[in-house]
Amino acid sequence: MTRTSDQALILFAKDPVEGQVKTRLGSLLDATATLSLYRHFLRDSIEKIGSVAGGDRFIGIASDPKTGYFDDVSRNHPVQLFVQEGGNLGERMRRVFEDRFKEGYERVVIIGADSPTLPTAYIEQALKSEKEVVIGPSTDGGYYLIGMRGKVTDIFEGVPWGTDRVLSETLNVLKGRRAEAELLPVWYDVDLPEDLRFLKTHLEWMVHAGSLKGNQATLEFLNQLPLESKT
């Protein structure tokens, strides 16, 4: 596929291999159930980027895919696939930003597959932002989205990935670079058992409010799971 827009929206995802996805849910779910859950998250996320107005869509796969899942996705959705390169998350994001800017994109936004209820409006706001960097803060101290216009691709150096200081350290780097940043509303990722329980509750609230447009299959799946702690 060729570039059709000056905006690129990229979903970071893992190949859905049993035992290699959402492993921090292991105290709550077995590997088979966890894999099924992640496939629901992937489907919700792929549908979400497809519903966003404007921009070319990409899926960056964390390692060489083996299952064929994303081949099926690319046959049914207008997305371009690539394999992420780099030793840690910061290196992988930097490479993606640099590659897309070389291809002529002016605004590049990356989201993960761990926020299945993320409002589409937040992604569209990020794509329209005029700031050099736009970040979606996550409740765990990281971020569910990062976008860039100013090509300050070296902002990820020294960030302590996997900690609750990811967002604060990134903001410190941006301040030191005098780069203008926009913060989106706070949202949440689903990584831990308590996050999954909250997701189920949140989806139920959305049903009662009449605002559940996607995620129906995910809620139906969650209703089949024993979400009480095994301990």
Radius of gyration of the chain (CA): 17
Query: Which residue range is the domain that position 163 belongs to?
Result: 7-189
Does 199 reside within a domain? no
Residue 231: its pLDDT value, please? 45
Does 229 reside within a domain? no
How many beta carbons lie within 10 A of that of residue 224, not counting itself?
A: 9
List pLDDT tens digits, range 1-33.
678 899 999 999 999 999 999 999 999 999 999
Q: How far apart are CA 121 and CA 17, in angstroms?
A: 31
List pLDDT tens digits, range 44-90.
999 999 999 889 999 999 999 999 999 999 999 999 999 999 999 99
Average pLDDT for 107-127:
96
Mean pLDDT estimate for the chain: 94
Helix axes 69-76, 31-51, angle to 10 degrees: 20
How many beta carbons lie within 10 A of that of residue 135, not counting itself?
A: 23
Concatenate the DSSP letters of all residues of 103-152 into one string: TT-SEEEEEESS-TT--HHHHHHHHH--SSEEEEEBTTSSEEEEEESS--
Q: How far apart are CA 179 and CA 120, in angstroms?
A: 25
Residue 229: its pLDDT value, please? 55
CA distances from 95 to 86, 106, 152 (A): 7, 15, 12
Q: How far apart are CA 87 and CA 181, in angstroms?
A: 26
Q: How far apart are CA 55 and CA 145, in angstroms?
A: 15
* Tokens encoding 116: 């299945």
Nearest to 51 by CA among 219, 218, 214: 214
Residue 149: its pLDDT value, please? 93
Does 196 reside within a domain? no
How many beta carbons lie within 10 A of that of residue 154, not counting itself?
A: 13
Average pLDDT for 120-129:
96
Does 194 reside within a domain? no
Q: Are 136 and 125 in contact (CB under 8 A)?
A: no
Does 221 reside within a domain? no
Beta bridge mates, 83: 61
Number of residues assigned to the chain: 231
Domain count for the chain, please give it.
1
**CATH classification at residue 120:** 3.90.550.10
List pLDDT tens digits, range 177-204.
999 999 999 999 999 999 999 999 999 9
3-class state of residue 7 by DSSP: strand
What percent of the chain is modeled with pLDDT above 90?
90
CA–CA–CA angle 111, 15, 160 (5° rounding): 50
Does 215 reside within a domain? no
